[in-house]
Each structure stands twice: as C-alpha cells, then as structure tokens.
C-alpha cells in the first residue's frame, strides 16, 4: 500500500480512486495512517489488539463471533444513549437499563454521576476531548476544549470526521486530532482527559496493538515526545460536558471550527461558565 501514500503520510486519493471500486475506496480511506511512518504488519481483525488467540479462532470457527463487530458496538452505544436520555430519576433509569440490556456488561454508571469539571494544578492546562456518533447522519464529530487552572478558555475545536470503524476508534481519533490542536496553539504542560475509559487505558498500556487502532495509539504516543503533554486521564461524562457539547455543535455546523486565543463567541463562553457552576 506504500504506493498509495503521499510523502506527507496521507492517502493519495486520486491513485486510490483510479485503482479500486468505490466500496473499497471508502474502506481504505477509513484506515488510519501514522504521519510519522511505520512498517506494515499482519493483524487478526477479530481482536482489538490485532493479536490472534485460540479463543477467538475457536469462536470464529463455531460462528459465535459477530460478522460485523464494529456495527454491533455502535448499535449498543446508540441503545445506551436512548436509555440515558430518558427523563426519569436515577434509580428507575438504572432499572430501565438493566431490563433493556441482558448482557453481563458493566453499567456505565458514570453517566448519571454529579461529577463536575476539576481545574488542573497551577501552571498546568487541561484539555478535554470527546467524540460523538450520529446514527442518523452516519458520521462522527469531535469536540475539544483547552482551559487553564482558573477555568479560562484558551482554545477549542469542533468538526466532523470520516466515519471510523468503531466507537473505540472514534475516541482515539478525537484524542489525536485534539492533540494536534494543542501543538498548533503552541501550548505546554497539558493533561489530556477523555470520558472513554477504553481509549485512555489503551494509550497508557504497554500492550502491543497490531490492529488499525494500534496505528492511532502509536501516533498518539509519538506526540508525547513533543514534551508538551503530561499524560492521559479518564474523566466522567458529566465533567466532560463542554467537549461533548462542542462535538454536538459540529453536526449543525457546515464547516470545521477552531478557536485559539481569540474573542470567543458568547455561546462558547456560556458552555464554559455552565461547566464551572454545575
């Protein structure tokens, strides 16, 4: 595939469109690339780390693996969102979730906590990022916001991205794109926060990821060498509400939006203010 990658590390769309049918073009363009380069590796697509195990091989042979694991993941997230958006007290809401979800998956109880945004230590910055999937539009959006120890807004971003293969990949894309915003603004001493525990755990782990997700994880870790980011932490959905609202805004905006050290619009200031008082 090296013949279809430009010198800047991005896909050469013209070559790909000429060489492949449309349905394959879309699949190829959804494969993340590390702009810093790397070597091609074989991976096992039925495991998130891309590593073959006897267990997944057996399940595949017995027909016990979903033919489209990414779509089933998105479907589950869509169902959870509908339940958590119901207007009812917390206890009945949890009961409704248990009735709707018969699997052994743990409940995302963090979504109903009363956690609020917590300022970083003096002299440090906090960068919150979130990805949202719109089932009706069939696309993802990213919201990113950077604030100092006093809660002052320094930079923000809101835009849509090409539909990734899974919710996990979408969260990784959000973190990577948000980190690039930080570098463009020449900021330093920043903690990165995301409400995706899976993404934060994968980034902080020493485990090897051979799958396409591993390319994004490596690209994120490579950016740490820039001596800008202090590390990655998980946060609750409530304390990430500003980034969540920015991601939601991207669905109503026809163009990508980035604000960096400017006179921020009143609605953006309101998001920050509300995040501090709740």
Between the alpha carbon of residue 51 and those of residues 44, 48, 72, 207, the distances in Å are: 5, 8, 20, 11
Residues whose CB falls within 8 Å of the CB of residue 32, separated by 6 or more in sequence, listed in order: 164, 169, 172, 173, 212, 213, 215, 216, 219
Question: In total, how many domains does the chain have?
Answer: 2
In a shared domain, residues 74 and 181: no
In a shared domain, residues 79 and 139: no
193: left (phi over 0), alpha (psi -120 to 50) or beta: beta
Instruction: Assess if residue 167 is contained within a domain.
Output: yes
85 burial (CB, 10 Å; 0-12 / 13-18 / 19+) is exposed
Instruction: Assess if residue 57 is contained within a domain.
Output: no
Instruction: Assess if residue 40 is contained within a domain.
Output: no
Tell me the average pLDDT across 77-104.
54
What does the alpha-carbon distance between residue 164 and residue 161 come to, in Å, rounded to a whole number?
8
Contact 142, 158 (CB under 8 A): yes
Question: Which residue range(s) make up the domain with 87?
Answer: 69-105
Instruction: Assess if residue 5 is contained within a domain.
Output: no
Identify which has the larger pLDDT, 257 or 98: 257
- The candidate with the shortest Cα–Cα distance to 242, out of 189, 201, 199, 195, is 195
In a shared domain, residues 76 and 179: no
Give residue-wise pLDDT tens across range 181-222: 888 888 889 999 999 998 999 899 888 777 767 878 888 888
Identify which has the larger pLDDT, 67 or 34: 34
Q: Place 226 in a pLDDT band, splitting at 50, 70 and 90.
A: low
- The candidate with the shortest Cα–Cα distance to 109, out of 96, 119, 94, 120, is 94
SS3 state at 182: helix
In a shared domain, residues 264 and 131: yes
Mean pLDDT (the chain, rounded): 76
Which CATH number goes with the domain that contains 183? 3.30.420.10
Instruction: Assess if residue 38 is contained within a domain.
Output: no
């Amino acid at each position: 595939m090296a013949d279809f990658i430009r010198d800047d590390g991005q896909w050469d769309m013209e070559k790909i469109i000429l060489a492949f049918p449309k349905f394959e073009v879309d699949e190829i363009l959804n494969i993340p690339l590390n702009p810093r380069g790397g070597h091609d590796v074989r991976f096992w697509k039925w495991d998130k780390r891309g590593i073959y195990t006897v267990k997944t091989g057996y399940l595949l042979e017995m027909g016990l693996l979903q033919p489209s694991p990414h779509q089933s993941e998105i479907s589950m997230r869509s169902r959870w969102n509908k339940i958590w958006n119901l207007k009812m007290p917390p206890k009945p809401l949890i009961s409704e979730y248990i009735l709707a979800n018969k699997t052994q998956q743990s409940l995302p109880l963090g979504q109903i906590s009363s956690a609020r945004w917590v300022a970083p230590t003096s002299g440090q910055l906090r960068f919150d990022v979130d990805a949202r999937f719109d089932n009706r539009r069939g696309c993802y959006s990213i919201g990113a916001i950077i604030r100092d120890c006093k809660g002052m807004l320094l930079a923000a971003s809101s835009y849509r991205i090409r539909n990734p293969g899974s919710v996990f990949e979408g969260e990784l894309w959000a973190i990577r794109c948000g980190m690039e915003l930080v570098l463009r603004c020449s900021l330093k001493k920043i903690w990165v926060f995301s409400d995706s525990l899976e993404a934060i755990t994968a980034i902080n782990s020493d485990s090897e990821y051979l799958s396409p997700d591993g390319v994004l994880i490596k690209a994120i870790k490579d950016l740490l060498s820039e001596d800008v980011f202090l590390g990655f932490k998980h946060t609750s959905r409530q304390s990430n509400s500003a980034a969540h609202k920015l991601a939601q805004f991207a669905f109503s905006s026809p163009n990508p939006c980035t604000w960096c050290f400017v006179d921020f619009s009143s609605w953006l200031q309101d998001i920050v203010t509300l995040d501090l008082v709740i």
